[in-house]
Amino acid sequence: MQEVVRAQGHENVSAAHASTFEVTTDDYLTPAGDCILAVEADRAPADFDPEFVAACQHADATITATFETDGHRETVTGRGDPDLTFESDRSAVGRTSDYVDDRTILVGAEFAAEGFDRELVGALADGTELTVTLTVERDE
């Protein structure tokens, strides 16, 4: 099962955060938003299919986020959690920790914003478009 989000890079993308990465529907980004990879997302977690959400709400779910922009590609794998709600109408956040709030789309991520390929980050800082594909799989 997949969900696709399209967003836009921004000049203030720094991808320096050590424990999260984020894509937001907001149309602005301040330098303090060092976990944000892209803005103006066309969808938020609240828009995702209920079946996708239900699949992510299992502790044994593997959730993969693939980020593609301007010839660059980065994949981050994490896991699901029974507490994931996907209720945010604003932001999608991946976390290296087990913390869950309404914005969380995966926990236990392999790495956060600071781990992203610097060429991909540079392309996003130049304002390129970003496609994020979220895939959920379960061992049954």
| 31-64 residue pLDDT tens | 999 999 999 999 999 999 999 999 999 999 999 9
pTM of the shown model: 0.96
Q: Is residue 134 in a domain?
A: no
Q: Is residue 133 in a domain?
A: no
CA distance 78 to 62: 6
What's the burial of 113, exposed, middle or buried (CB within 10 Å: 0-12/13-18/19+)?
Answer: buried
**Angle, vertex CA 124, rays to CA 42 and CA 36, nearest 5:** 65
Q: Is residue 137 in a domain?
A: no
| 58-95 residue pLDDT tens | 999 999 999 999 999 999 999 999 999 999 999 999 99
Taking 80 as the threshold, does the pLDDT of residue 8 lie above it?
yes
Average pLDDT along the chain: 97
How many domains is the chain partitioned into structurally? Answer: 1
User: Which structural domain, as residue segments, surrounds residue 79?
Assistant: 2-127
Q: In what order do the strands lie in the sheet with 72-79?
A: 2-8, 129-138, 61-69, 72-79
